[in-house]
Structure 1
Amino acid sequence: MNTRRHFLQLAAAGGVLASPLAAFAEARQFAPRPGDWRTFELTTRVDVNLSQGATRVWLPIPTVDTDWQRPLESSFATNGKATRTTDGREGTGILQADFDASITQPYVELTTRVQTRNRAVDWSRRTPVAMDSESRAYWLAPTSLIPTDGIVRETALKAVGDARGDEEKVRRIYDWVVGNAWREPTVRGCGAGDVKTMLETGNLGGKCADINALFVGLCRAAGVPARDVYGVRLAPSAFGYKALSGNSASLKGAQHCRAEVFLQAHGWVAMDPADVAKVMREETPTWIKTVSDPLVAPVYKALYGGWEGNWVGFNTAHDVELPGARMGKLGFLMYPIAEDQQGRFDSYAPDDFKYQITAKEIQA
């Protein structure tokens, strides 16, 4: 658990050497700012070629509607029966497609248009934002993968120390997560997001669903409303970071969840410590182990309060109950899901499951 705790300390003391690409990195910038909207057409196609018997498929539909994202129209094609539905809890958008046993090659294709833009909080503007008690309780509540008691609460209290205000608590938690968790490329998919197991084992290596869930859990345990936002990268980063880019022609594996916290002076604010870890581990052949590195520093700064609009958020749901599912709840819905009479397909194996995700930007 202490594997990387010293990185931030060393960075502050100037005790870690810059990466081999430091000279190049000095010219790099990462500073997303709210501006023009971008329109994307996102297409997900599933061909369940190995299905046995009656088959059912669920696809996430972007339903996050905020000042940084606008969901537009959706359409679909299938040789089964498809209906648009929700999880019945948060209104999470889902396309459900049903195929009877006579359909030997089930397919469904979902096309959605969505508008996105960069996001960044203006820390100098402080306008109190109210959250009703019911919503506050909801965004502080534990989930199956993110408990808020026991070791999670103990860790949160240690991380925040003597901090009192919500902004100071979140700053300390963000730095704690960046300083202790790390990107582990061998983890399948986006990870399981099992915060309790991560802390109990001391293995804080993972991917976005692990690292950002850890951040969300610690914030909730410290009394700050927080949530994950599950989605997918759509396009290359405008700032040249390959680790923060999506290949529009093939977005298999481009799923990415982010985080938000609710601050009394700013409302919902963007956070993404997982992408800081990704840049440190994967942007260069050498694992960068300090946030003071000129390649990492602008990302570390900007992702505390902002993110780039080359990504779409599907939903913020935990413990998702898929309509008609036989195999129980999902910890989160970010991937295509399918079941047949043999059980649930492995969504982390897109070539076996046979799904393809693509995006194209629609120019105004």
Structure 2
Amino acid sequence: MTRRDVLRTGAALSTVAFSSLPAWAAFAPKPGTWRTFELITRVEIAKPAGPMQAWIPLPAYADPAWFKPGGSTWETNAITAEIARDPKYGAEMLHVVWQEGERAPAVEVRSAFATQSRAVDLSAPTGPHTLSDAERALNLAPTELIPTDGIVKETSDRITANAGSDLDKARSIYDWIVEATHRDAAVRGCGLGDIATMLQSGNLGGKCADLNALFVGLARAAGLPARDLYGLRVAPSAFGFASLGAKNEVVTKAQHCRAEVFLTDFGWVPVDPADVRKVMLEEPPGNLPLGDEKVTEARKALFGSWEGNWLAYNAAHDVALPGSRAPALPFLMYPQAEVKNVRLDCLDADAFKYALTAREIVT
């Protein structure tokens, strides 16, 4: 059976309805139940002209403990369509190029994947765990918007001054972000992740790409390998947290990045301080205090676990799109396109149309 056959079969199966969110329950994700999804990404160039190309991120990140990509297929009127990979991080994308004069440039991508929740018992070390020299260097290195020196290093040193173990350092950074930052609803998309500017300005507001990048940068500056994972929410929260899941099958604006930190005693540990601030701002009735029960539950759980209602595209930074003359992207989480060699604003629906639909496949 080919990958296309698998996807066609999956699409024919019944899907889970988004009829209503479950009642709120204690937020405690646990592994054990794998869920299979199909993501459909449709991209159109609203105002075709001259040379045109697009890049669609693919959910190809793989970790046998919690995420299994199932491959992608596509239909398009482009003259070329091929999978490209970022040489440094291995991020996968579909690169399509349309012939000049094409009146209705479009591509539809179907991607299959399976995922489950994660939870690390931080009271029971399982190490020592190790990284290769190359993996350690990659996940300690600065990026264009995530430096590890200057004000980032100074802030990290101050936060971790009284921390003994690596676990204590990671928790200190997590707690500091939860308490010192805020989610800024006015920020476009998921933010940029320009952490030095955040710290220098004293404006610690942002969204997931800002706040979780801040965790990654501060952790790396403290000598802890860490990384952002860029992805998409694809289903409601099973615990009834309206702010931590997709509202329906249309997930066009449900992009979300998460973070991981590597601890010798535990291996890669999931963290998401940005979602704690999201719960505070958005969870009904809104503007919840740090001491609210829902916030307390989320804060406890999101240092060491996360819910499996989310897909991972990649962990890439400073992504140069193949065939493009434009500057590298800070990260690849949204479809991208260019018309006449000009990069379109991926958040401007008038110039660049795309739609993402996620369906859970049940047998």
* TM-score, scaled relative to structure 1: 0.91
RMSD across aligned positions (CA):
1.3
Offset of 1:62 from its aligned partner? 1.1
Report the counterpart of residue 75 of structure 1 in structure 2. 73
Alpha-carbon distance in 1 for matches of 2:261, 2:289? 26
Report the counterpart of residue 141 of structure 2 in structure 1. 141
Alpha-carbon distance in 1 for matches of 2:207, 2:273? 10
Alpha-carbon distance in 2 for matches of 1:90, 1:69? 17
Secondary structure of the structure 2 residue equivalent to 1:301? helix
CA deviation profile, 1:270-308 (whole Å, cap 9, x unmatched): 000000000001112431231x21111111111001100
Alpha-carbon distance in 2 for matches of 1:313, 1:351? 27
Secondary structure of the structure 2 residue equivalent to 1:212? helix
Kept in 1, the 8 Å contact 2:324–2:341? The answer is no
Secondary structure of the structure 1 residue equivalent to 2:42? strand
Alpha-carbon distance in 2 for matches of 1:125, 1:31? 17
Offset of 1:352 from its aligned partner? 3.7
Percent identity over the alignment is 50
Offset of 1:198 from its aligned partner? 0.4
Report the counterpart of residue 219 of structure 2 in structure 1. 219
CA deviation profile, 1:108-155 (whole Å, cap 9, x unmatched): 111100000011102233121111222111100000010000000000
Please state if 1:171 is matched with 2:171: yes
- In structure 1, give the amino acid aligned to 2:50: G
Kept in 2, the 8 Å contact 1:233–1:246? The answer is yes
Please state if 1:32 is matched with 2:29: yes
Secondary structure of the structure 2 residue equivalent to 1:327? coil
Kept in 2, the 8 Å contact 1:70–1:114? The answer is yes
Report the counterpart of residue 257 of structure 1 in structure 2. 257
Report the counterpart of residue 233 of structure 1 in structure 2. 233
Offset of 1:269 from its aligned partner? 0.7
Offset of 1:232 from its aligned partner? 0.3
Alpha-carbon distance in 2 for matches of 1:265, 1:248? 39
Report the counterpart of residue 200 of structure 1 in structure 2. 200
**Deviates further, 231-240 or 349-358:** 349-358
Kept in 2, the 8 Å contact 1:52–1:342? The answer is no
Q: Which runs of 5+ in 1 are unaligned?
A: 1-25
Offset of 1:162 from its aligned partner? 2.1
Secondary structure of the structure 1 residue equivalent to 2:318? strand
Kept in 2, the 8 Å contact 1:82–1:95? The answer is yes
Offset of 1:316 from its aligned partner? 0.2
Q: Size of the alignment, in residue pairs?
A: 338
CA deviation profile, 1:185-215 (whole Å, cap 9, x unmatched): 0100000110010000000100000000001
**Deviates further, 82-91 or 227-236:** 82-91
Q: Pairwise mapping of residues 1-364 of structure 1 onto structure 2 (< 5 A)? A: 28-66=25-63, 67-80=65-78, 81-127=80-126, 128-290=128-290, 292-341=291-340, 343-350=342-349, 352-364=351-363
Secondary structure of the structure 2 residue equivalent to 1:296? helix
Kept in 2, the 8 Å contact 1:248–1:360? The answer is no
Alpha-carbon distance in 2 for matches of 1:350, 1:136? 39
Alpha-carbon distance in 1 for matches of 2:162, 2:57? 41
Offset of 1:309 from its aligned partner? 0.4
Secondary structure of the structure 2 residue equivalent to 1:44? strand
Alpha-carbon distance in 1 for matches of 2:131, 2:169? 18
Secondary structure of the structure 2 residue equivalent to 1:163? coil
Kept in 2, the 8 Å contact 1:350–1:356? The answer is no
